[in-house]
Amino acid sequence: MKHFAIVCAKPIFGSLSLVKPLAVSGLLLGLAACSTLPEPAGQLSGYENLQKPRGLMAQYKTYADKPGLASYRRVHIQPVVITPEVAEKAGDANLGLVSNAIARDMCNALADSYQISAQGGADTLEIRAFITDFSPTGAKASATSSVLSAIAPVPFRLPVGLGHLSAEAEALSPDGQQLASLVWSRKANVLDSGGVSQISDAYAFSDGFSSAFYKLLTPAKSDKSVAPKLDPKAVKEQKKVNRAACDVYGKGPGVKGFLAGFSPIGTAPEWSDKGRAVTPETDKPVDTGTSSPN
């Protein structure tokens, strides 16, 4: 049996009298429920340094050894792992597209501060990430929500079929010392757009997880004690090389995905994201598993 740490977020509204009853009841029902942060899934090398839970829309625990991280300028991003329990729960949902999106987002974000390496080394941080829990998006409920949104004063979703994503990540020194870690979870609410794919919510949340982890590894510009001085020309060249290294994860949804965000129910990630197109070892096309959404 899984155990959960309960964290409640209070919905905030200005003047409820300005919102029609239908929208109010839907929003309150969807936002009033407590968010849950799963207990550690046991995938990381340690959890003892994690801080207390934080966050509203997403719940998370973090740890970062900023001085220790400042000693490294290279990172190796290992493939994002979908745990066996999650893979069994996901069934035919294309979680591979979600795991690839996490790796791609991490790579592109870290490319501004680190050199992306194809393998580990004595001067390289190892980045490990895991999808530890998942609930599919209810496509039928999202479709019904689109009809109701057309007659409601504000777009909203029915509080059923709401997707969920939980993930963990860590940065390890070459000798296995944990220098940063993140336990993160996000469940959809009635204000999220949803979509017509089982992975619509999880895919949308993948960027939030990647961004939260990237921020742990990147020192604030104002923190001069850990922010290294880098030659501007070297930084520019590094970014160019890194972008090429990140191409292995394929292109993101781009403009097509951006426009889909304006739809009351969203679309399907499979329509605009073709996933990982090549392998770093062979540079040959691989099966990305981008079948039609269910």
> pLDDT by residue for the chain (294 residues), tens digit each?
344 444 444 443 333 333 344 444 444 444 444 457 888 899 999 999 999 999 989 999 999 999 999 999 999 999 999 999 999 999 999 999 999 999 999 999 999 889 999 999 999 999 999 999 999 998 777 667 666 666 766 666 778 889 999 999 999 999 999 999 999 999 998 888 778 889 999 999 999 999 999 999 987 554 544 445 567 777 777 777 888 899 999 988 765 544 545 454 467 898 889 888 654 443 443 333 333 344
Structure tokens at 22: 């239908």
Is residue 290 in some structural domain? Answer: no
Distances (CA, A) of 130 to 62, 209, 224: 15, 11, 32
Is 157 part of a structural domain of the chain? yes
User: b/e per residue, 171-206, with b = 16+ CB within 10 A?
Assistant: bbbeeeebbbbbbbbbbbbbebbbbbbbbbbbbbbb
Pair 131, 98: CB distance under 8 Å: yes
In a domain, 278, yes or no: no
pTM equals 0.79
Measured CA to CA, the distance from residue 270 to residue 275 in angstroms comes to: 8
Say how many domains are in the chain: 1
Read off φ and ψ for residue 122, nearest 5 degrees: -65, -20
Whole-number pLDDT of residue 18: 35
Which residue range is the domain that position 149 belongs to?
4-272
User: What does residue 172 show for φ and ψ, rounded to 5 degrees?
Assistant: -115, 140
**In contact, 217 and 110? CB cutoff 8 Å:** yes
pLDDT at 254: 61
Q: What's the pLDDT score for residue 284?
A: 43
**283 in any annotated domain:** no
Domain-located, residue 291: no
> Is residue 167 a part of any domain in this protein?
yes
Q: Is residue 286 part of a domain?
A: no
The helix (run of H) or strand (run of E) holding residue 28 is: helix 21-31
